[in-house]
Amino acid sequence: MLNRELVFLDAKYKSSHEFLTSIADELLKKGYVKESFKEAILKREEEYPTAIGTEKYNLAIPHTDSQHVNKPGIVFVRLNKGCQFKEMCTNNDIDVDMAFVLLVTKKEEQVSLLSKLMGLFSENEFLENLYMEKDESKIVASLNNEIM
């Protein structure tokens, strides 16, 4: 589900809009998404914010409908401070440390994937390891091991 071409470490974005626009363009180039993906994910994020604060890290799980996705996957992005997303419960701006962009081709799989990720978000040691890891291969292996 995750591979090295979907891992971006120490990315710098000032806003969720800038982040989502850039990621959408990159995913389009790589054939993962359709032309409609960028507009759809921006609209989805505006209507239903995806940031969530955990004990130590702030995370975001942007996603949109499967009709905009060509190939399944999870994009993992470790962000430098300053990339603000709206928090899902409060709608407040929070700086996000890591983002998991979901690329789901089968609508019925989205809830299961979100559920698995939400379970991992309560594991502080797991999040710490993801945040500190420098080797993209280890990040891929760790996430695939936990999600698959």
Total-model pTM: 0.94
Contact 75, 30 (CB under 8 A): no
Calpha distance 19→32 (Å, rounded)? 17
What's the pLDDT score for residue 109? Answer: 84
Taken in order of first residue, the domains within the chain and their CATH numbers are 4-138 (3.40.930.10)
Q: Report the mean per-residue pLDDT for the chain.
A: 93
Calpha distance 148→45 (Å, rounded)? 26
pLDDT at position 147 over 90: no
Contact 135, 76 (CB under 8 A): no
What's the pLDDT score for residue 40? Answer: 98
pLDDT tens profile 74-118: 999 999 877 999 999 899 999 999 999 999 998 888 888 888 898
What's the pLDDT score for residue 107? Answer: 84
pLDDT at position 27 over 90: yes
Mean pLDDT for 118-140 is 93
